[in-house]
Amino acid sequence: MQLKQDSPKPSYIGRLAPSPTGLLHLGHARTFALAAARAQAAGGTLLMRIDDLDLDRCRPKFTAAALEDLTWLGLHWQNPVITQSERLPLYRIALARLHDAGLIYPCDRSRRDLAEAVSAPHESIEPGQAADDEPLYPAAWRPAADQALPALDASGLALNWRFRVPDKRELRFDDALLGPQTATCGRSFGDFLVWRKDGLPSYQLACAVDDTDLGITEVVRGADLIRSTFRQLLLFEALDAPAPAYCHAPLLTDEHGIRLAKRHAALSLATLRANGTTPEELWTRLAL
């Protein structure tokens, strides 16, 4: 008789995923330090992924600065560093799967059309939603579900493509720090971009593909990305991939309660370091 065996538990694989669009600040340090601490506590592996797909805003000098700052802070990750812009074939394969399944459609509305159409702010899941989060896409703009899709040839890859979210479906996940989180498709967020007409995947698609391909077991990131987590949960399901566990770090605010952002240049790690702050002082300040 064959004994039923549990499949071996995957060991912990986490990742740090900076976007090289500016200098890292204290808020990033706290999130990344938390990610490193959780990987270490689990006896796991930590990968470094550079999210450099926003060609207008990403700069190699910020990748170099991020690696330098995080090394100074005492974080360790497994080499080689993974760079999203070098992984385009993987994202194209995933897009083709979504296309074959009829889960996406081309969209020629501009960001401006969308901004003008959206008057009411959408339901808040967490205070501090990502400043650049997509507005709720009007369901009335969707093409019919049975409409034939253009092929994903060179001209098809030069279109914006959106994922059709299952209207009114309730989604939930349990966050390791924040507890149960819920969202309603079509209300908390609408049809979202998976591909851009500049021939690159959206953050949502690239992130879901990479978290799957790299075998990430837990994603640790800022709470401003909770809404994106729900979008990515839909992508994992559509791509028939298991979703990782999630741990969203509360966002750091300044003395006025305003979220720290890259514009708080005085709190960049590079400036703190240049002003003589030691990594030990910073760890104390991060209070992890």
The site for ligand GLU (CB under 6 A) is made up of 17-19, 51, 207, 221, 225
Please state the closest distance from residue 228 (CB atom) to ligand GLU, in A: 7
Residue 16 or 107 having the CB closest to ligand GLU:
16
Please state the closest distance from residue 253 (CB atom) to ligand GLU, in A: 17
Please state the closest distance from residue 30 (CB atom) to ligand GLU, in A: 13
Residue 139 or 258 having the CB closest to ligand GLU:
258
Residue 51 or 191 having the CB closest to ligand GLU:
51
Please state the closest distance from residue 225 (CB atom) to ligand GLU, in A: 6
Please state the closest distance from residue 44 (CB atom) to ligand GLU, in A: 16
CB neighbourhood size of 282 (10 A)? 19
Q: Is the peptide bond before 80 cis (omega within 30 degrees of 0)?
A: yes
Residue 142 or 259 having the CB closest to ligand GLU:
259
Residue 191 or 211 having the CB closest to ligand GLU:
211
Structure tokens at 170: 């309730």
